[in-house]
Amino acid sequence: MSKKLVTFGEVMMRLSPPGYSKFAQATSLELVYGGGEANVAISCAYLGMKASHVTRFPDNALGKAATQFLRQHWLSTEHVIYGDEMIGKYFLEKGAVHRSSEVIYERQGSAFSLIEPKMVDWEEVLKDADWFHWTGITPAISDGAAKCCLEAIKTANKLGIKVSGDINSRDNMWKYGKTMQEVMPELVKHCDIVITSSHGIHEIFGLGDPDGKFRLAAKDLMDAFPNIEKVVGKTRKSISASHQQIQGKVWNGETYTKTRTLNITHVIDRVGTGDAFASGLIYGLLHYDEDIKALDFATAACALKHTVPGDVNMVSLENVASLMDGNTSGAIKR
């Protein structure tokens, strides 16, 4: 029987100049939809899992179009709710070689930012789930989103469902009167799996050294929050915007494990690569007995996303397993 994942978070409209054009050159914009948690759910659906995303869209044609995008990519949308009028947006100018990508957000006052806990029946949403995933972006959006996320996590705990949090957050997103240092500890202490970095652990919790060893920072985090079973991260070396190197790593309380480094020499789209890593990790931990195999799967999924345009890693289980097993040829499959 297929494992089921439930995710929660905002889905935004992504608008980009064609190809690698700059904003100043654009006379049209390409439109797709994406959001960190939905990206994870869709990626897991492409790997063969059941997946459901919980979000709030405006009650208009744009909200219906975004819902259709989720359905098109194998997600259950039965728990999507509707209200208000605005969908969150972000504008992406894709970088190349030595020119960095640039992102501009328009999400304040979006339908999702106005969500409240009473709008979602989490017991109903999670009743047949195996895993719940959230990211540090969601509680940064609004007080209502943070409270709704905490309720989801606590309900998952009560139902015996694994919880993962990708907690690398963005400090400049917290604009509603609370800081990440106030909100995040209560969310993280109920997680089984945490995806983060040494910098994230230091920035949010004041633990470890921001530029120090991941294993030591992860140990400090698990000592502070004993419910955590594994702390997972990745090392990214940016040779240029077009050339990246990726390595996965995990501390499980006893053993520190790293994958081999994957060399990505021609980046097509870097957006959503962290979400691809998270989806690969979730799939890996649900389907493999050894941490290193789950981590290899996550790293391979992350590497493949660099070759896929858009927010979402639309690759198959066979694609990821092939790269995980060392097949880097990219030969045509006939």
pLDDT tens-digit profile of 47-91? 999 999 999 999 999 999 999 999 999 999 999 999 999 999 999
pLDDT at 326: 83
Q: Specify the higher pLDDT residue, 139 or 94.
A: 139
Cα separation, 3 vs 317, in Å, equals 14
332 has pLDDT over 50? no
- Judge whether residue 1 has pLDDT over 90: no
Radius of gyration of the chain (CA): 19
Please, are residues 231 and 196 in contact by the beta-carbon 8 Å criterion? yes
Burial 258-296 (b: 16+ CB within 10 A, else e): bbeebebeebebbbbbbbbbbbbbbbbbbeeeebeebbb
Nearest to 140 by CA among 180, 85, 167: 180
Pairing type for strands 193-195 and 89-93 reads: unpaired
Residue 195 — very low, low, confident or very high, per pLDDT cuts 50/70/90? Answer: very high
Give the three-class secondary structure for 136. coil
Question: Residues of 198-208 as b/e, b for ≥16 C-beta within 10 angstroms?
Answer: bbbbbbbbebb
CA gap 187, 136 in Å, rounded = 9
What are 11's strand-pairing partners? none
Mean per-residue pLDDT of the chain: 94
Describe the crossing of helices 36-46 and 273-287 by its angle, rounded to 10 degrees: 50
Mapping DSSP onto H, E and C, the string for 201-263 reads HHHHHCCCCCCCCHHHHHHHHHHHCCCCCEEEEEEEEEEECCEEEEEEEEECCCCEEECCCEE
pLDDT at 128 over 70: yes
Mean pLDDT of 185-196: 98
Sign (positive or negative) of CA dihedral 113, 133, 270, 231: positive
Confidence of residue 165 (pLDDT cuts 50, 70, 90): very high
pLDDT at 169 over 90: no
The pLDDT assigned to 333 comes to: 53
Tens-digit pLDDT profile for residues 297-310? 999 999 999 999 98
Question: For residue 98, what pLDDT is reported?
Answer: 87
Over residues 132-158, mean pLDDT? 97
| Arithmetic mean of pLDDT, 312-328 | 91
Query: Which amino acid is it at 106?
Result: E
How many Cβ atoms sit within 10 Å of the Cβ of residue 163?
23
Residue 188 has pLDDT above 70, yes or no: yes
Distance CA 309, CA 307 (A): 7
Q: What is the CATH number of domain 4-323?
A: 3.40.1190.20
CA proximity to 232, closest of 204, 196, 192, 207: 196
pLDDT digits over 198-239, tens only? 999 999 999 988 888 999 999 999 999 999 999 999 999 999
- For the stretch 10-48, pLDDT in tens is 999 999 999 999 999 999 999 999 999 999 999 999 999
Find tokens 């494990």 and name the residue. 257
pTM of the predicted model, to two decimals?
A: 0.94
Domain extents for the chain? 4-323
Q: What is the predicted pLDDT for the residue at 330?
A: 62
Quote the tokens at residue 61.
Answer: 């044609």
pLDDT at site 334? 38
